[in-house]
């Protein structure tokens, strides 16, 4: 049994697998807000199977990671392993100036995306990997598996909170996305949504120009479903991208499920 964990800046997501192959469904899964991490052993994990292996990625603080390890240690005798981005792993080459400084969630999601691409057997193609979580990341991978670089921008919630905090007149309810917003709520909601989809479409253009081929665009993250409807390029929503990447890393490292 493999326990896979993805700790973002808002929520910890976890899943348990008995097989590492792509498409194998988790036997159990869940998510908690970071404030609730200390309840995992007594609540969500109380009835879970004993994991033989644990592999995760964490972009939250060291304190959050330690508290997670404490919860694991309360229940199981398993060594916590966290993916640290390296120069190359599972067929991907890290083009970041300082490879270690790339967010491990971005690295793992790109590995998961590459795995999806290769599983389709449709030949080489660049990849655009979009993660809409607390922040939004838009990452480019070329047809050979080189991570070329990517964008980081605030997530929708963070944009709205920044606007609310920095102005007197922008404290309004959530609105609708529209092309020509005629009220403050719609103007804010549409502004945030199009800031995100505009950045994605821009990176799509950069990558298509760089590689001479349209990339396969994969969207993931807790807010992916909100971004997708306004995205004007062809794309697919794959909620499990980080877990697919963790399974691929586990498999390429010869870890047991």
Ligand X SMILES: Nc1ncnc2c1ncn2[C@@H]1O[C@H](COP(=O)(O)OP(=O)(O)O)[C@@H](O)[C@H]1O
Ligand Y SMILES: CC(C)(COP(=O)(O)O)[C@@H](O)C(=O)NCCC(=O)O
Angle at 220 between CA 218 and CA 224, to 5 degrees: 110
Distance CA(107)–CA(86), nearest Å, equals 9
Q: Which partner in ligand Y, ligand X, K ion, none is near 222 (CB below 5 to 8 A by kind)?
A: ligand X
Binders of K ion in range 69-128 (CB under 5 A): 105
Report whether 137 belongs to an annotated binding site: no
Rank residues 24 and 174 by Cβ distance to ligand X and give the closer one.
174
Rank residues 76 and 147 by Cβ distance to K ion and give the closer one.
147
Using rule CB under 5 A, residue 142 touches K ion: no
Question: Both tokens of residue 173?
Answer: 């309810």
Q: Which partner in ligand Y, ligand X, K ion, none is near 11 (CB below 5 to 8 A by kind)?
A: ligand X
The distance of closest approach from Cβ of residue 49 to ligand Y in the complex, given in angstroms and rounded to an integer, is 27
Q: How many residues does the chain have?
A: 257
Pairing of strands 135-141, 127-132: antiparallel
Strands (E), the chain: 2-7, 11-17, 28-33, 53-58, 80-82, 88-89, 92-94, 127-132, 135-141, 146-154, 216-220, 236-237
Site for ligand Y (CB under 6 A): which residue of 5, 16, 94, 105? 105
* Residue 105 among the catalytic residues: yes
Report whether 13 belongs to an annotated binding site: yes
Q: Which partner in K ion, ligand X, ligand Y, none is near 223 (CB below 5 to 8 A by kind)?
A: ligand X
Site for ligand Y (CB under 6 A): which residue of 134, 190, 193, 240? 134
Angle at 16 between CA 69 and CA 27, to 5 degrees: 150
Catalytic residue numbers read 105
Q: Which residues bind ligand Y (CB under 6 A)?
A: 8-9, 59, 101-103, 105-106, 131, 133-135, 137, 152
């Amino acid at each position: 049994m493999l326990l896979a964990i993805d700790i973002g800046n808002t929520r910890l997501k976890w899943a348990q697998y008995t097989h590492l192959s792509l498409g194998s469904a988790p036997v159990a899964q869940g998510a908690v807000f970071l404030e609730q991490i200390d309840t995992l052993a007594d609540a969500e994990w109380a009835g879970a199977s004993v994991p033989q292996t644990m592999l995760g990625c964490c972009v939250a603080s060291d304190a959050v990671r330690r508290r997670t390890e404490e919860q694991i240690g309360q229940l199981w005798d398993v060594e916590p392993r966290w993916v640290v981005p390296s120069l190359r792993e599972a067929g991907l080459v890290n083009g970041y100036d300082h490879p270690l400084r790339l967010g491990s969630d971005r690295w793992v999601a790109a590995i998961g995306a590459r795995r999806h691409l290769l599983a389709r057997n449709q030949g080489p193609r660049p990849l655009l990997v979009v993660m809409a979580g607390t922040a939004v990341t838009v990452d480019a991978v070329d047809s050979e598996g080189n991570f070329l670089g990517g964008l980081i921008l605030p997530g929708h919630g963070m944009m709205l909170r920044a606007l609310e905090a920095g102005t007197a007149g922008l404290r309004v309810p959530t609105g609708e996305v529209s092309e020509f917003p005629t009220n403050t709520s719609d103007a804010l909601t549409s502004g945030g949504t199009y800031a995100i989809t505009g950045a994605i479409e821009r990176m799509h253009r950069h990558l298509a120009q760089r590689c001479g081929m349209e990339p396969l665009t994969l969207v993931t993250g807790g807010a992916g479903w909100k971004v997708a409807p306004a995205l004007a390029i062809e794309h697919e929503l794959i909620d499990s991208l980080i877990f697919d990447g963790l399974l691929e890393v586990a498999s390429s490292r010869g870890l047991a499920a």
